[in-house]
C-alpha cells in the first residue's frame, strides 16, 4: 500500500514538472502540451503585396522552426491588435510579436504583457513608448533611410537644374511608423533644393484602391505634377491607373518613385512605368523565429535589428525580376 502511494505521488510530481516547461499552455485550457514554443503574432492586416509576403514569411518560418503560431489579423485596426494581444496574454503564450498599425497608444497593453512575464518583440514597425523595457527588441527596416534614398535619387536626377519640380506625395496610413519616417527622410533629402517642392501630400492608406482614388482627385486639382513619391508600391500602382486614365504616361510624363520592391512594383519598374524603387524587405520570418527562441530562453538580444535593403533602377529591376521571390 505504501509503495503504491509513493508511486502515485511520483507520477503526480513528474506531471507537474512537465507542465512547468511548456509556457503554461495547459493553464490556458488548450488541453495541448506538445512542448512547442507558442508565439502569438498580431499582424496589421492585408493592405498590400508587402503585407501578404510578410505574413507568408512568418507563417512559413514558424512551421520550419517548429514553433506553434497563433496568428491574428487586425484588419488595419489598432483596437483589434490590442484585443489580440490581450487574448495572447490570457492564453499564456510564450512570446508575443506584433507589427503595430500606428506608433502611439501601446503602453498599457505592453505593460500587461510585461507584468504577465511574456516577452514582446516588435516586428516591421516601431511604437513610440518611452519605456523601452516594455519590449525586448525591434526587428525591421530603417524607414527614415528609405525616405532619404528616395529623395536622394530625385535630387541626383535634378542635379544642376533650377526649374521647378512639383512633387505629389502619397503617404501611408496616418500615424504609422513607415508613413511618418518615409515622409521625414524624403523631406530631409530634398530640403537643400528649393526648386523641388512637395505640392500635395495625402494619405492613400498603403492600399492600391486608395492610391488610385486619391491620385484621381489630385490629378484634377493640381495642374502641374512632375513627380509622384508613393510610400509603397501598391499606392503607386493604384496611382498609375489614375494617371493612365487621365491620358498621361506614368514614368514619362510623371516620374514615379515608390518603396517596397514587391513583384508587381518591380514589374512596373522594369516596364518603365515606375522610375525608382527603394526596397523594404518583408522577409522577416526566419529572424523573428530565431529571436522568439532566444527571448524565450532568456537570452539577451540586440534592442534594434535592422533589415538589409537596397534600391532598384529600371535596369536593375529587369535583372532582379526573374529571381524575385515575392
Phi first, then psi: what are they for 224, rounded to 5°? -125, 110
What are the grid coordinates assigned to 204, written together?
492613400
Q: Is 280 one of the binding residues for ligand AHR (CB under 6 A)?
A: yes
> Considering only 18-26, 47-55, 70-78, 156-164, which stretch makes contact with ligand AHR by CB under 6 A?
47-55
Total residues in contact with ligand AHR, by rule CB under 6 A: 13
Task: Give Dmax over CA atoms of the chain in angstroms.
Answer: 99
Q: Which is nearer to ligand AHR, 50 or 88 (CB)?
A: 50
Site string for ligand AHR, 294-323 (x = CB under 6 A): ------------------------------
Nearest CA to 235 among 46, 49, 45, 43? 49
Distance of closest approach, residue 187 Cβ to ligand AHR, in angstroms: 18
Q: Which is nearer to ligand AHR, 94 or 181 (CB)?
A: 181
**For residue 232, what are the β-bridge partners?**
none
**Concatenated DSSP letters for 134-178?**
G-SEEEE--HHHHHHHHHHHHHHHTTT--S-EEEEEEE-STT-HH
Q: Is 68 one of the binding residues for ligand AHR (CB under 6 A)?
A: no
Interacting residue with ligand AHR among 47, 149, 181, 279 (CB under 6 A):
47
Q: Is 149 one of the binding residues for ligand AHR (CB under 6 A)?
A: no
What are the grid coordinates assigned to 183, written together?
515622409
Distance of closest approach, residue 154 Cβ to ligand AHR, in angstroms: 18
d(C-alpha 33, C-alpha 26), whole Å: 6
Residues 240-259, interacting with ligand AHR (CB under 6 A):
259
Q: Is 266 one of the binding residues for ligand AHR (CB under 6 A)?
A: no
The residue to which cell 522577409 is assigned: 283
Q: Which is nearer to ligand AHR, 23 or 186 (CB)?
A: 186
From the CB of residue 319, how many other CB atoms can be counted at a distance below 10 Å? 11
Q: Is 50 one of the binding residues for ligand AHR (CB under 6 A)?
A: yes
How do 120-123 and 38-43 pair as beta strands? unpaired
Interacting residue with ligand AHR among 22, 37, 51, 158 (CB under 6 A):
51
Site string for ligand AHR, 182-211 (x = CB under 6 A): ------------------------x-----
> Considering only 27-35, 48-56, 104-112, 212-220, which stretch makes contact with ligand AHR by CB under 6 A?
48-56
Q: Is 144 one of the binding residues for ligand AHR (CB under 6 A)?
A: no
Q: Is 260 one of the binding residues for ligand AHR (CB under 6 A)?
A: yes
Q: C-alpha angle with apex 189: 183 to 191, nearest 5 degrees?
A: 95
Residues 73-132, interacting with ligand AHR (CB under 6 A):
124-125
Distance of closest approach, residue 140 Cβ to ligand AHR, in angstroms: 7
How do 276-279 and 311-313 pair as beta strands? antiparallel
The residue to which cell 482614388 is assigned: 213
Residues 160-179, interacting with ligand AHR (CB under 6 A):
178
Distance of closest approach, residue 262 Cβ to ligand AHR, in angstroms: 8
Phi first, then psi: what are they for 117, rounded to 5°? 75, 25
d(C-alpha 44, C-alpha 72), whole Å: 9
Question: CB of 165 within 8 A of CB of 229?
Answer: no
From the CB of residue 175, how many other CB atoms can be counted at a distance below 10 Å? 16
Residues at the contact surface with ligand AHR, assessed by CB under 6 A = 47-48, 50-51, 124-125, 178, 206, 232, 234, 259-260, 280
Amino acid at each position: 500500500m505504501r509503495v503504491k502511494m509513493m508511486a502515485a505521488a511520483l507520477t503526480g510530481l513528474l506531471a507537474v514538472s512537465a507542465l512547468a516547461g511548456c509556457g503554461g499552455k495547459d493553464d490556458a485550457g488548450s488541453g495541448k502540451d506538445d512542448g512547442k514554443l507558442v508565439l502569438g503574432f498580431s499582424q496589421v492586416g492585408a493592405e498590400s503585396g508587402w503585407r501578404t509576403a510578410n505574413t507568408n514569411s512568418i507563417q512559413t518560418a514558424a512551421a520550419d522552426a517548429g514553433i506553434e503560431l497563433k496568428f491574428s489579423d487586425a484588419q488595419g485596426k489598432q483596437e483589434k491588435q490590442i484585443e489580440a494581444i490581450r487574448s495572447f496574454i490570457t492564453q499564456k503564450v510564450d512570446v508575443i510579436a506584433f507589427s503595430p498599425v500606428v506608433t502611439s497608444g501601446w503602453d498599457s497593453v505592453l505593460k500587461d504583457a510585461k507584468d504577465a512575464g511574456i516577452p514582446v518583440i516588435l516586428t516591421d514597425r516601431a511604437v513610440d513608448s518611452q519605456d523601452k523595457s516594455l519590449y525586448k527588441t525591434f526587428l525591421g527596416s530603417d524607414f527614415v533611410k528609405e525616405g532619404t534614398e528616395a529623395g536622394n535619387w530625385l535630387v541626383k536626377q535634378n542635379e544642376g537644374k533650377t526649374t521647378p519640380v512639383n512633387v505629389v506625395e502619397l503617404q501611408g496610413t496616418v500615424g504609422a511608423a513607415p508613413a511618418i519616417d518615409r515622409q521625414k527622410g524624403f523631406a530631409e533629402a530634398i530640403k537643400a533644393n528649393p526648386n523641388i517642392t512637395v505640392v500635395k501630400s495625402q494619405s492613400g492608406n498603403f492600399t492600391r484602391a486608395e492610391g488610385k482614388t486619391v491620385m484621381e482627385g489630385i490629378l484634377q486639382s493640381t495642374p502641374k505634377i512632375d513627380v509622384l513619391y508613393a510610400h509603397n508600391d501598391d499606392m503607386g500602382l493604384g496611382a498609375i491607373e489614375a494617371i493612365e486614365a487621365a491620358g498621361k504616361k506614368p514614368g514619362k510624363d510623371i516620374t514615379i518613385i515608390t518603396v517596397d520592391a514587391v513583384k508587381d512594383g518591380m514589374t512596373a519598374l522594369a516596364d518603365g512605368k515606375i522610375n525608382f524603387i527603394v526596397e523594404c524587405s518583408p522577409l522577416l520570418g526566419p529572424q523573428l523565429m530565431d529571436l522568439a527562441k532566444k527571448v524565450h530562453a532568456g537570452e539577451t538580444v540586440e534592442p534594434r535589428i535592422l533589415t538589409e535593403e537596397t534600391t532598384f533602377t529600371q535596369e536593375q529591376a529587369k535583372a532582379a525580376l526573374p529571381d524575385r521571390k515575392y
